[in-house]
Amino acid sequence: MERREFIKQASAATAGLAMLPNFLYAKDAPSGFVFDAMGEIRDVYTMELIDKILASGTRAIAITLSDPKHYGHEAYDILLKDLAAYDKYFYDHPTHFIKATRLSDIDRAIKEKKLAVFYLIQSSEPIEKDLSRLDVLYNLGLRSVQMTYNSRNYVGDGCYERTDAGLSNFGMELVARLNEKNMLIDLSHAGMKTMEETITASKKPVIISHSTCRALYQHARNTTDENLKLLADHGGVIGMCQIRTFMTKEKTNNLEVYFDHIDHAVKTAGIDHVAIGSDRDHRVIPSTEEEIQILLKEEGAQFKPTDWPLFLEKLNGPSRMNVIRENLVKRKYTQSQIDKIMGGNLYRLYEEVVG
């Protein structure tokens, strides 16, 4: 079964509208809403599934445009096609989506109970070494650029490189241009030296939109305490992702480990610098051989069947943000602190960088 048809059926299976909660919000300090620093909204999702996502309080999200494993000019061409496809999807469903390009779009989404969607690319590969492409992509709505995706590119080294040479000369140029254009720099998937040098080179705060803590679990995708502190010192934010293999070998009864990572990030970086970046489909992902085969086809060597499931069982589905909120209460976070983690810190970051 093709992925599009598979997701359509999976989404239909979860149909049914939960009651939307009433959220308080103010012009400068929205409260009670959720902003996912990096999640997936696929253009085959049904509006029944989107209603469930909205019911969890999610009002803003940054989504990945196109597969970051494309390279060269092909990556740019595919990105333009995928961007157009998402534009059409959001245009066709105006009751549910706002294509977001500025902070005020979040305010409108909160007021109208819609989902503000920001565009992100998970690799600077589509830009190649042509900075003029940023002008085109900005005008089309792109607001965030991830510097590297696992391996080395023109910008710097990804987290899976054998060595980490840091930010390249062209990477320095890209950082400066992204700052000029008020585009958010994302350092997920970066090598630690590349991450460090980008944080210090940028004149504006940056984001690590989906990662967890290397001090708690040794994984190349996780962030060191040194870089968590440096990120916070420069006003940045880390989004805590929900990929099980970044946090634990335990395949069941593993929810608490996620909050251990949140606790550690808050302790290390501070409450003003931690958010949620799910790095996940927002549907219910079934535990089937068919789903494993889809991942093998899409991810190649980066995914092994023994890695399954990639999700934490209690965070599998469109209501996961409610689970996170409830467990932050159990961990004795105050309402103000919960508001910051669930959306307020990202709101501040986007206000400062994107405007």
The SS3 of residue 267 is: helix
Domain that holds residue 178: 3-353
CATH number of domain containing 337: 3.20.20.140
Nearest to 306 by CA among 316, 292, 324: 292
**What is the reported pLDDT for 276?**
98
Provide the terminal-to-terminal Cα distance of the chain, rounded to the nearest Å. Answer: 42
Q: What are 196-235's pLDDT values in tens digits?
A: 999 999 999 999 999 999 999 999 999 999 999 999 999 9
| Contact in structure between 50 and 109 (CB atoms under 8 Å) | no
**What is the reported pLDDT for 300?**
66
Longest pairwise C-alpha distance within the chain = 52
Query: In sequence order, which residues have a C-beta less than 8 Å from that of residue 277 and are 6 or more positions away?
Result: 36, 37, 38, 39, 188, 208, 209, 210, 211, 238, 239, 240, 241
Each of the 355 residues of the chain gets a pLDDT tens digit; together they read 444 444 444 444 333 333 333 333 333 446 789 999 999 999 999 999 999 999 999 999 999 998 888 888 899 999 999 999 999 999 999 999 999 999 999 999 999 999 999 999 999 999 999 999 999 999 999 999 999 998 889 999 988 888 888 999 999 999 999 999 999 999 999 999 999 999 999 999 999 999 999 999 999 999 999 999 999 999 999 999 999 999 999 999 999 999 999 999 999 999 999 999 999 888 888 778 887 777 766 776 677 777 788 889 999 989 999 999 999 999 999 999 999 999 999 999 999 999 9
How is residue 339 written in tokens?
A: 């508001």
- Domain tally for the chain? 1
